A and B are shown apart, each in its own frame.
Chain A
Amino acid sequence: MAGGRWGRWVVAVPMAGLALATAYPLVFTANVAVKSRREYVLDRFAPTGSPRWDNLAEAWAGVGTSRYFLNSTVVVACSVALLLLFGSMAGFALARLRFRGSSVLYLGCLAALFIPFQVIMVPLTRVLADTGLVDTYPGLVLAYVAQFLPFTVFLMTSYYSTVPAEIVDAARVDGSTALGAYWRIMLPMGAPALLSVGVLDALFCWNDVLIALLVMPSADHRTLMVGVTSLRGQYSDDVPVFASGVLVAAVPVLVVYLLLQRRIADGVTAGATRG
């Protein structure tokens, strides 16, 4: 197939080109980020002779990045913790407990999965405003939990469906309540799935800009990604510092990607193959 050995190399050449096109923009940005303005104007592509780490410090301080960074970290940590707690509870209940209306609830979650955020963003903002939650951390956390909970429930349900029913039955026979069985058995057993889903949820929340813009409008409450959108105006004449800001904001995600690449792909494909 594919014309044997030579055919494979013919296919491999455009693929290598595409890989270059995929990786190079980031390499370029990283290089520019540590150039001086003079170096950038003279030659954009040449590797820098003497990296200017000052740019990174300036970008970090200049846009209040540390403040935004803290906001993002707090909101993402709380959101993911709640998502995993509620998601695994609901997943366990839907997969392993038989109760009236469970299939209706599952369908409800599934339907919610297909409602795009844009479709509900106007009324959602209104509901949050009416309850005084706009521009508060709990408001944004709640918005993220609402946004990504159906996905989390869906994956946890399909994961728990693969855990043998006998394990829960045995716990029930030993006198454990449903909550006890969840807390002592299902939650620890779900660890691998929780890690995959949690990483994905964290990426979704961390990378979001639309929900954060809507729910946290004031300058002090900006998340990191909202902060990045203002970089361009601020450093329109200083491309290297602009690139530094972009790089600083991208680093956490790149680190997570390098460490947990397999987990992220697992989460994505679990959603796909069960769909």
Chain B
Amino acid sequence: MAPTVLIVVALRLWPLALGVNFSFTGDGDLNGTPVGLDNYATLLGDPLFRTALGNVGLLVLLLPVAVAIPGLLATAIHLRVPGHRVYRAVYFFPAVLSPVIVGAIFTLLLGYDGPLNDLLGVVGLGPVDWLGDPDVAIFAVVGVHVWATFGMALVVFLAGFSTLDPSLLDAARVDGASLPQTLRHVIVPGLARTIQFVFATTMIGMLTSMFGLLFVMTGGGPEASTYLPEYYIWVQQGQLDRPALASAASTALFLVMLLVGLAQVGVLRRAGREG
């Protein structure tokens, strides 16, 4: 017990406090001197950070899609569509690959003269500059992230299904409920906790585990269009040697996650009351 407490306190809880404190001090010549909210003002004035926050907004909008895909697939697997055993294993496997590996594979596939554009050319669609067009790149990276992680959410959904009372599904079938009706009235309310869990973990995943993909696939480009707060923190800390500003960005990221988390709880509660 003692080593665990020591490690958790010294290397997780203590740095969190240290970081928040650090975010109110200066960089460079001002190292260590308190500067109040200056770092936060700098952040808000930095177009890069604003892009990163804008992309967080985009992720929040895409979140329901990223939850619905594994949810629907899990429903189908649970209802034993032909081949359900194989699907489970195949869908899950990218989830165990490192984002770096996934990123490297997709850098290969999504190149301007790469194989995916070859395929598009065959069906008569023009090449898309997946990773070079500022309007497309963030969607490409998020798409790859979803490709790599939906299997994880799927397995969680399947675990949720195993706790669902099978007699409810039988009753729905006897009453002649359609699949959408069953989904709405039996499966969604029955899995409320699982859905909440998947929402939370998917959001955390999008905000904090795309570093490897960004690092390998776009490096934040083109034209800084694929910046996320976590990448911004890395650049400020590692590349530009501005740890205090990076700490302020960390604290902001933490606040964003807290806000999104609370908003989710609120929305799901209200949905639960109506249902």
Contact = CB atoms under 8 A, between A and B. Distances in A.
Interface of A: 1-3, 7-9, 11-12, 15-16, 18-19, 21-23, 25-26, 28-29, 32, 44-45, 86-87, 89-90, 93-94, 105, 108-109, 111-112, 114-127, 142-143, 145-146, 149-150, 153, 203, 206-210, 213-214, 225, 228-229, 231-232, 239, 242-243, 246, 249-250, 253-254, 256-257, 261, 264-265, 268-269, 272-273, 275
Given A29-B105, A118-B250, A273-B159, A124 B115 contact: no
Interface in B188-245: 194, 197, 201, 204, 207-208, 211-212, 215-216, 229-230, 233-234, 237-238, 243
A104 to B, nearest CB: 10
Contacts of A115: 12-13, 16, 254
B98 A25 contact: no
Q: Which of B87, B108, B253 has the most CB of A within 10 A?
A: B108
A16 B83 contact: yes
11 contacts: A1-B177, A112-B8, A112-B13, A116-B204, A118-B234, A121-B233, A143-B11, A228-B104, A229-B100, A246-B104, A257-B93
Contact of B93 (A21, A22, A89, A273): A22
B97 A250 contact: yes
A1 B101 CA distance: 40
Nearest to B106: A25
A29 B182 CA distance: 40
Contacts of A108: 5, 8-9, 13
A263 B214 CA distance: 30
A246 B93 CA distance: 16
Contacts of A243: 108
B112 interface: no
Q: Which of B4, B106, B152, B254 has the most CB of A within 10 A?
A: B4
A232 B107 contact: yes
Interface of B: 1, 3-5, 7-16, 18-19, 22, 73, 76, 79-83, 86-87, 89-94, 96-101, 104-109, 115, 118, 147, 151-152, 155-156, 158-160, 163, 169, 172-173, 177-179, 182, 194, 197, 201, 204, 207-208, 211-212, 215-216, 229-230, 233-234, 237-238, 243, 246-247, 250-251, 253-254, 257
A89 B6 CA distance: 13
The A contact surface, by secondary structure, is helix
Nearest to A227: B100
Contact of B92 (A18, A143, A231, A265): A265
Contacts of A89: 1, 3-4
Contacts of A87: 4
The 4 closest A-B pairs by CB, nearest first: A146-B11, A207-B98, A269-B159, A90-B4
